[in-house]
Amino acid sequence: MRRLRVSEHVPSILVASLGAAFGVSLLQLAGVMSSVIVADDVTGSSGMVRVMLAAVAIVFIAIAIYVSAIVTANTFATIIAGRTRTIALLRLIGSSAATQRRAVAWEGLQVGVVGAVVGTVTGTVVSLGVVAVGRATDFLPALDYGFAPPVIALPVVAVVLTTWLASWIGSRRVLTVSPIQATGASQEESLEQASGHRARNVVAAVLVVTGLGALVLAVVVGLVSPFGVLIGVVGGLLSFSGFILGAQAVMPRVLRWVGRAFGSSAPARLAAQNAVRYPERSTRTTIGLVIGVTLITMFAVAVESFQGLMRRLQEGQPGGQEQTDQVLVIIVAVFSILTGFSALIAAVGMVNNLSLGVLQRTRELGLLRALGFTARQVRRMILIESASLTVAAVLVGLVLGTFYGWVGAQSLLGSATAGGGVLPPAVPVPLLVAVALAAAVLTLVASVTPSRRATRIAPVAALAVT
Amino acid sequence: MDTTQHALVARVESLGKSYGSAENTVAALRGVSLGIRRGEFTAIMGPSGSGKSTLMHIMAGLDSATSGRVWLADTEITDLADDALTILRRRRVGFVFQAFNLVPTLDVEGNILLPFELDGRRVSAEERAWIDQLVGSLGLDARLRHRPHELSGGQQQRVAIARALATRPDLVFADEPTGNLDSRTGREVLTLLATASREYGQSIAMVTHDPVAASYADRIVFLADGAVVRDLGKSSAEEISSLMLAMERS
């Protein structure tokens, strides 16, 4: 039993605790919202609103577990990839692959437990804070809100189990590390190429097609019942899982396309190449952000559509509209904060991945400096690489999010529109502005540490690494 | 020896380099003075820890000296700032390292043209002709679109040589260029370097601990414990070996 190397796992613990906080907060605040709406039955339609909220809460639970699982899995896979040398060295001196794998999974379990505890506390504090602010500003009535419904155990246990499982899945690569890799210049791509992708792509395609089928069904059912959204959840999860599984076929293409937009100077060309150099790793780096942006966009588009519909339904009753708008403001605020959490998880993953990538390229950066890359050119190269990843993720996320948001709104509200009509997809402009700003900030933040690290290396020291 | 023909292309004077803190200093170089003659193929020899790599790094503007002065042709580079040194390396120095010479994400042509692209300029017609000639004579015509991982070790070193010669630098530094190659491929690479020096008048400074590699050079400078101990003209591998052994014993 090895002791947990905390410094190496800080990003993992952060991701796990953010995941747990996300789930806990989500459930606590969904409970709060239910209480508010039940207590404040002004529109006389609280029954229907409650059903919708219940449906939405189920969606949130599913997504919370899903996001933390995927991001934790990706973070762990990246850590394992960076450890190839160490693992190979331990194999070389006689440790079996199975032992190594169990050791990694044991670390994963510890990371999961620590992350879940930290996350539960943090999430509860965030919920309490939101409610306190809500009360102070009179958005929320002074009700007795329960902050420890048994259901919050769900994301906590899920984070522990998924982190454990993710470390086990991530450690599959341990089995492919040969002892000889400790002695030579081991390259990660040989590992990445080692796993065949054909079967995986087939599964991905099946999931996407099935999911899209369910989404179409959801829209059709939604025309007569708000429960269409539950079919939509299944369809969304299936198709999005399929997309994530097969993202390796999509993201490198988008990255290549985005990379071309940064011009043809030597730093820009190398940056574009670096961004797609290990397709699997780039996909892993961007997919977290794609998930985050997709979620934010999805909820923003869904809420905007909902708001538009409510306004139209209540055109004749000015009083009721004000009430609904107030509730919607709360919903939008809560949704934005909670989906912002998942984007934050993704951002942590991206910063982590980019840093690791630069660290593993020390020798190459030394070569570039020797051949005449100025420190500024190196910084620009890393900044463009960071920007390529962010822009590609954001673009894909916006497209997917708009689609899912529209399907969600349509399947939930289709039956409420006059004559079973079709809602137009509504993309809020503030969302686009906020996403663009956040992407710019993330690009800069993600490139700061690797840039400093890369330019601080003396070319001689980098060249001495063998 | 005709001194006008053999003007110095690089020179160090009383060069010292030490590492570590004040009370725990390790001297890599102790007052080395040396001139590399233009158009010659010079080998810098010495056992591990003799300071030969440090000397090369300082002469190439990759590292800074603790004391003494350094010139590349007429430019004193002793106190140049990082950016000035970077541009000097880009335009006036070529490198052939032992391994990891090439940028893995660029194809062969991209690697050869990298120094020009770093300068943000197009290759002139005259430079293009020179590069084509190099590519042809190094047998890389069919490889221009290949990535480094698709090439053998010897081919990778050829690409590195093409890149180092492409900008017609004042001086090409080769750091154990055959260290990762089998002996036959190693001899080919050494022949290419010697040919570049003889036919194109390219000045080359090669750091090596291999007597066979050094025997391809026009001049062999021996370093031991951070100081120049011998300076020979062209010699056979046997002569160099026995000299090295004698140095080990003394």
CB-based burial label for A138 (10 Å; 0-12, 13-18, 19+): exposed
Structural domain contains residue A109: yes
Strands B26-37 and B8-19: antiparallel
Q: Are B59 and B70 in contact (CB under 8 A)?
A: yes
Going by pLDDT thresholds of 50, 70 and 90, the confidence category of residue B179 is confident
Residues ≥6 apart with Cβ < 8 Å to A420:
A223, A224, A414
Mean pLDDT of A58-76: 66
Average pLDDT, chain B: 88
Q: How far is CA A276 from the centre of its chain?
A: 20
pLDDT at residue A85 in the model: 72
The per-residue b/e assignment along A185-201, b for 16 or more CB within 10 angstroms, e otherwise, is: ebebeebbeeeebeeee
Task: Mark which of A127, A142, A177 sits at the end of a domain.
Answer: A177
- Contacting residues of B for A367, CB less than 8 Å apart: 97, 100-101, 103
Count of pairs with CB atoms under 8 A, one residue in A, one in B = 69
pLDDT at residue A191 in the model: 38
Structural domain contains residue A182: no
The packing angle between helices A6-39 and A153-170, to 10°, is: 150
Q: Same domain, yes or no, for A235 and A136? A: no
Q: Same domain, yes or no, for A49 and A152? A: yes
Q: Same domain, yes or no, for A97 and A57? A: yes
Closest chain A residue to B88 measured between Cα atoms? A372
CA distance B91 to A287: 41
Structural domain contains residue A356: yes
Structural domain contains residue A357: yes
- Contacting residues of B for A368, CB less than 8 Å apart: 103
Q: How far is CA A353 from the centre of its chain?
A: 14
pLDDT at residue A127 in the model: 84
For every residue of A262-322, DSSP letters joined together read T-SSHHHHHHHHHHTTSHHHHHHHHHHHHHHHHHHHHHHHHHHHHHHHHHHHTTT-HHHHH
Mean pLDDT of B105-130: 89
Q: What's the start-to-end Cα distance of chain A, in Å?
A: 31
Q: How far is CA B89 from CA A24, A386, B85, in A?
A: 56, 27, 6
Going by pLDDT thresholds of 50, 70 and 90, the confidence category of residue B163 is very high
- Residue A367 contacts B, CB cutoff 8 Å: yes
Q: Same domain, yes or no, for A169 and A245? A: no
Domain that holds residue A28: 1-177
- % of chain A beyond a pLDDT of 70: 76
Closest Cα in chain B, distance from residue A278 (Å): 10
Interface residue of A274, A460, A465, A466 to substitute, partner B, most B CBs within 10 Å: A460
pLDDT at residue A11 in the model: 75
Q: Are A152 and A120 in contact (CB under 8 A)?
A: yes
CB contact under 8 A, B105 and A460: no
Mean pLDDT is lowest, of A100-104, A151-155, A438-442, for A151-155
Radius of gyration of chain A (CA): 24
Closest Cα in chain B, distance from residue A188 (Å): 13
- % of chain B beyond a pLDDT of 90: 42
Task: Mark which of A177, A208, A242 sits at the end of a domain.
Answer: A177
Structure tokens at A417: 């529109």
Structure confidence by residue, pLDDT tens digits, A191-240: 344 445 677 888 889 999 999 999 999 888 888 888 888 898 889 989 99
CA distance B49 to A363: 21
Residue with tokens 């139209």: A312
- Contacting residues of B for A373, CB less than 8 Å apart: 86, 118
Closest Cα in chain A, distance from residue B91 (Å): 8
Structural domain contains residue A183: no
Structural domain contains residue A451: yes
Q: Are B199 and B215 in contact (CB under 8 A)?
A: no
Higher-confidence residue of A187 and A296: namely A296
Closest Cα in chain A, distance from residue B87 (Å): 6
Mean pLDDT of A445-466: 77
Closest Cα in chain A, distance from residue B145 (Å): 15
Ranked by mean pLDDT, the top range of A183-192, A357-366, B94-103 is: B94-103
The packing angle between helices A153-170 and A97-136, to 10°, is: 150
- Contacting residues of A for B104, CB less than 8 Å apart: 277, 364
- Contacting residues of B for A362, CB less than 8 Å apart: none
Structural domain contains residue A306: yes
Q: Same domain, yes or no, for A152 and A300? A: no
Q: Same domain, yes or no, for A79 and A203? A: no
Q: Same domain, yes or no, for A231 and A169? A: no
Structural domain contains residue A456: yes
pLDDT at A330 exceeding the cut of 80: no
Closest Cα in chain B, distance from residue A133 (Å): 52
Higher-confidence residue of A457 and A127: namely A127
CB contact under 8 A, B62 and A466: no
pLDDT at A317 exceeding the cut of 70: no
Q: Same domain, yes or no, for A164 and A275? A: no
pLDDT at residue A19 in the model: 79
Task: Mark which of A177, A198, A225 sits at the end of a domain.
Answer: A177
CA distance A258 to A391: 7
- Residue A456 contacts B, CB cutoff 8 Å: no
Q: Same domain, yes or no, for A173 and A248? A: no
Q: Are B206 and B41 in contact (CB under 8 A)?
A: yes
Going by pLDDT thresholds of 50, 70 and 90, the confidence category of residue A66 is low
CA distance A258 to A279: 15
Q: Same domain, yes or no, for A220 and A265? A: yes
Structure confidence by residue, pLDDT tens digits, A273-313: 887 777 777 887 788 788 878 888 888 888 788 777 777 77
- The secondary structure of residue B8, as a DSSP letter, is E
Q: Same domain, yes or no, for A200 and A156? A: no
Interface residue of B58, B63, B114 to substitute, partner A, most A CBs within 10 Å: B114
The pTM (predicted TM-score) of the whole model is 0.77
CA distance A359 to A451: 10
Closest chain A residue to B91 measured between Cα atoms? A372
pLDDT at A62 exceeding the cut of 70: no
Mean pLDDT is lowest, of A55-59, A68-72, B104-108, for A55-59
Which A residues 211-270 touch B at CB under 8 Å?
A: 265-266, 269-270
pLDDT at B181 exceeding the cut of 50: yes
Q: Same domain, yes or no, for A62 and A81? A: yes
CA distance A423 to A294: 20
**Counted domains in chain A:** 2
